[in-house]
Amino acid sequence: MLPQSTHLSSEKKRIYVLFGIMAVLFVIVGQVQSWNLSLAILNLCLISAIMTLGANIQWGYAGIVNFGIMGFAALGGLAGVLVSMPPVQAGWQAGGMSLLGGAVIIVLTSVLSVFVWGRIKHITHWRYWIMTAVILAGYLVMRAIVDPAVEVIESIESAKAGHIGGLNLPILVSWVVGGIFAAGAAYVIGRISLGLRSDYLAIATLGISEIVIYVLKNEDWLARGVKNVNGLPRPVPYEIDLQAEQWVINLASRLDTDVPEMSSIIVKLSYAGLFTIVLLILFWLFETALRSPWGRMMRAIRDNEVAANAMGKHVTAKHLQVFVLGSAVVGLAGAMLTTLDGQFTPASYLPLRFTFLIWIMVIVGGSGNNFGSILGGFVIWFFWIESEPLGLWLMDVLTAPLSETSALRGHLLASAAHMRLMTMGLIMLLMLRFAPQGLIPETKR
């Protein structure tokens, strides 16, 4: 028993020390740069940590390689628009029925193709062609119904609307809806692709997430495409209203800052509070799940699928379950991100930032450990932002011997901003090589 307990306490110590260092880093940024920046980084660290938790239950608990994180985050963001924006009545009246008709056709085509697929098993030669014909016919009918409606919707006040709008509900509702959107997509994707080998699954999910982004970028009727949706409602007060409040003015004078700065800090703190609540709830749920029989079963499947199967566990069903769960959490985080930004910008979803960076967070933090995931989200996002000023400073010191006008010095200083990709790559490679278990390794249970 003794070695076990010392092991646990050393892990606890590690957690305290590493999170302590993280806290000190935030204080340093607050003091050296500004508290506003420090809190801005903190908010995105919290969102990253939630995304990482989602990715971690897929990779760390179950060993599923999901390279489609970006797509689920974007679906969550879409929920932000569809839930919170006011509906464009004219758009609904002009094209709502056609859009619904199109959706019905899509569902009918899917059902029909699954039915036909089962019925024509014996026609081996023509099977694919018949299927293609069925799907193509459904697609053309859908286009014929939807195209005119889309044209009308996109032409209504295209400078500020041009889409169907949303449900005008509080944006906090979208956090749940975003999770549901992502879960629904994950269910469909998982059903068709979880049987694939790990590297094919990685490529397939990456491809699907790209398709999601393409659709969001080009279907203007849905969320204005690359024209972006701005001015989403907020769950927290606006700076301008806070600046009129007496207590804010008093607080600012007591803390020796100006009022706009103070109001902005209060807004960021409120977001941080909301995000922290979500993070704590999810963390508690995931830790409980990990300790439960379900968690033991997941690890058993991850470590030896054949044995788990022999013990009567339905491996594919459990994989699907964990894939849906993890993706829902990513979708939730995506909706939170859109809420924080106050806008939905499909063009900003890049695989480097939303898929691979999250993977680095999982790996560096420690796959299979929830504390590790949170830490990974914090550390990597912190350095993703801070590597720019740090790189600039480092370059300045390194190139100090060169003359002020040297072309090389100029180039190096200008390129320092691009240091972060390389830094992230090197951090990931070094971790994988020398500490593959991450900063906080998975607890042996």
- Tell me: does residue 424 bind other proteins (CB under 8 A): yes
Nearest C-alpha neighbor of 79 from the set 205, 229, 191: 229
Binding characters for other proteins, 71-110, by CB under 8 A (x = yes): ----------------------------------------
In whole angstroms, give the CA distance from residue 319 to residue 92: 39
Contact residue for other proteins among 16, 115, 129, 200 (CB under 8 A): 200
Secondary structure of the chain as H, E, C letters:
CHHHHHHHHHHHHHHHHHHHHHHHHHHHHHHHCCHHHHHHHHHHHHHHHHHHHHHHHHHHHCCCCCCCHHHHHHHHHHHHHHHHCCCCHHHHHHHHHHHHHHHHHHHHHHHHHHHHHHHCCCCCCCHHHHHHHHHHHHHHHHHHHHHHHHHHHHHCCCCCCCCCCCCCCCHHHHHHHHHHHHHHHHHHHHHHHCCCCHHHHHHHHHHHHHHHHHHHHHCHHHHCHHHCECCCCCCCCCHHHHCCCHHHHHHHHHHCCCHHHHHHHHHHHHHHHHHHHHHHHHHHHHHHHHHCHHHHHHHHHHHCHHHHHHCCCCHHHHHHHHHHHHHHHHHHHHHHHHHHHCCECHHHCCHHHHHHHHHHHHHHHCCCCHHHHHHHHHHHHHHHHHHHHHHHHHHHHHCCCCCCCCHHHHHHHHHHHHHHHHHHHHHHHHHHHHCCCCCCCCCCC
- CA torsion through residues 48, 51, 53, 56, sign: negative
Q: How many residues bind other proteins (CB under 8 A)?
A: 43
Between 1 and 407, CB nearer to other proteins: 407
Contact call for residues 385 and 41 (beta carbons, < 8 A): yes
Contact residue for other proteins among 28, 137, 317, 426 (CB under 8 A): 426
Between 147 and 258, CB nearer to other proteins: 147
Between 217 and 313, CB nearer to other proteins: 217
Contact residue for other proteins among 47, 75, 216, 428 (CB under 8 A): 428
Contact residue for other proteins among 62, 202, 259, 265 (CB under 8 A): 202
- Tell me: does residue 211 bind other proteins (CB under 8 A): yes
- Tell me: does residue 129 bind other proteins (CB under 8 A): no
Contact residue for other proteins among 28, 31, 199, 398 (CB under 8 A): 199
Contact residue for other proteins among 351, 383, 386, 441 (CB under 8 A): 351
What tokens does 406 get? 């040297």
Q: How far is the CB of 345 from other proteins (least distance, A)?
A: 17
- Tell me: does residue 210 bind other proteins (CB under 8 A): yes
Contact residue for other proteins among 31, 398, 425, 435 (CB under 8 A): 425
- Tell me: does residue 303 bind other proteins (CB under 8 A): no
Q: How far is the CB of 422 from other proteins (least distance, A)?
A: 3
- Tell me: does residue 214 bind other proteins (CB under 8 A): yes
Between 199 and 241, CB nearer to other proteins: 199
In whole angstroms, give the CA distance from residue 238 to residue 39: 16
Contact residue for other proteins among 113, 193, 276, 348 (CB under 8 A): 193
Q: How far is the CB of 30 from other proteins (least distance, A)?
A: 28
Which residues 354-383 are close enough to bind other proteins by CB under 8 A?
A: 356, 359-360, 363
Contact residue for other proteins among 17, 137, 408, 432 (CB under 8 A): 432
Binding characters for other proteins, 382-421, by CB under 8 A (x = yes): --------------------------------xx--xxxx
Contact residue for other proteins among 6, 31, 198, 253 (CB under 8 A): 198
Burial pattern 319-355, b for ≥16 Cβ within 10 A else e, equals: bbbbbbbbbbbbbbbbbbbbbbeeebbbeebebeebb
- Tell me: does residue 218 bind other proteins (CB under 8 A): yes
- Tell me: does residue 208 bind other proteins (CB under 8 A): yes
Contact residue for other proteins among 16, 126, 128, 284 (CB under 8 A): 128
- Tell me: does residue 8 bind other proteins (CB under 8 A): no
Residue 398, strand partner residues: none
Between 130 and 215, CB nearer to other proteins: 215
Contact residue for other proteins among 311, 352, 402, 435 (CB under 8 A): 352
Site for other proteins, rule CB under 8 A: 63, 65, 128, 192-193, 196-200, 202-204, 206-208, 210-211, 214-215, 217-218, 351-352, 356, 359-360, 363, 414-415, 418-426, 428-429, 432-433
